[in-house]
């Protein structure tokens, strides 16, 4: 049974997987596939950005841990935090943790629909969202960025991917290469100009730096957010 949530009718992440689907690893496809490639890519990227085992990392929209299964062994015990709106993907995350023998690393997972990052009770050195803004309209991204600003350390950095449009208010669908994905102004998957992303960040007390292409197989671009004045 699927309960109505803020993403009902926006994208398909309110649909829950069954136990049988999780046991045959269907969750790996639900988060977009490229399980090994995109897990490794996000891990390598964050290490290159300075992620060290002693840092606290928050994975916003962690899903079933495509990145998490790479981050958890690297980070010190207890330093991986994941939050997601989809209960079954968090069950799949638990399945992945068990399958990879990572329970002793005590990752922290939270089911939450409002980006209530303060519930973890810690401040984060690094945060990451892979393929999350690509599925969200701007008001939900604004909620996320406001909570990010409240829960980053002073020097903390948040990396997120999005589909880029060259101009703001791009009402026409856009086709992105590589990957051949068509994005939309007001429909999943969404596109934004960097100016629109920067405006959202600014409203929430964050500055945004466009990193751009980072070898993502479906042409998602990377942006880095920091607290303003850092």
Which residues here bind ligand SAM, judged by CB under 6 A? 6-7, 13, 31-32, 38, 61-63, 66-67, 83-86, 89, 113, 115, 130-132, 135-136, 140
What DSSP string runs through 113-129? SS--GGGG-S-EEEEEE
Tokens (6 digits) for 71: 């981050």
- Closest separation in Å from C-beta 167 to ligand SAM: 25
Q: Which residue, 135 or 195, has its beta carbon nearer to ligand SAM?
A: 135
Q: What is the 8-class DSSP label of residue 133?
A: G
CA distance 161 to 220: 6
Coil vs helix vs strand at 86: coil
CA-based max dimension of the chain: 49
- Closest separation in Å from C-beta 229 to ligand SAM: 27
Q: Which residue, 124 or 172, has its beta carbon nearer to ligand SAM?
A: 124
The dihedral of CA 175, 180, 185, 186: what is its sign?
A: positive
- Closest separation in Å from C-beta 149 to ligand SAM: 16
Q: Which residue, 43 or 194, has its beta carbon nearer to ligand SAM?
A: 43
Q: Which residue, 32 or 73, has its beta carbon nearer to ligand SAM?
A: 32
Q: Which residue has the tokens 């399958």?
A: 99
- Closest separation in Å from C-beta 85 to ligand SAM: 4
């Amino acid at each position: 049974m699927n309960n109505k949530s803020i993403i009902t009718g926006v994208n398909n992440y309110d649909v829950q997987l069954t136990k049988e689907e999780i046991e045959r690893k269907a969750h790996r496809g639900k988060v977009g596939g490229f399980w090994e490639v995109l897990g490794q890519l996000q891990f390598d990227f964050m290490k290159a950005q300075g992620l060290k085992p002693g840092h606290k990392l928050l994975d916003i929209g962690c899903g079933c841990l495509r990145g998490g299964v790479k981050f958890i062994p690297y980070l010190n015990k207890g330093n991986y935090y994941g939050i997601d709106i989809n209960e079954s993907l968090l069950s799949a995350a638990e399945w992945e943790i068990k399958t990879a023998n990572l329970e002793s690393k005590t990752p922290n997972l939270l089911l939450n629909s409002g980006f209530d990052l303060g519930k973890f009770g810690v401040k984060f050195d690094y945060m990451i969202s892979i393929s999350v803004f690509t599925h969200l309209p701007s008001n939900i991204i604004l909620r996320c960025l406001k909570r990010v600003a409240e829960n980053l350390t002073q020097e903390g950095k948040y990396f997120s991917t999005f589909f880029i449009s060259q101009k703001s208010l791009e009402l026409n669908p856009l086709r992105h290469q590589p990957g051949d994905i068509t994005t939309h102004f007001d429909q999943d998957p969404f596109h934004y100009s960097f100016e629109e992303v920067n405006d959202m960040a600014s409203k929430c007390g964050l500055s945004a730096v466009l990193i751009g292409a980072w070898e993502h197989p479906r042409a998602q671009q990377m942006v880095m957010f920091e607290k303003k004045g850092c």
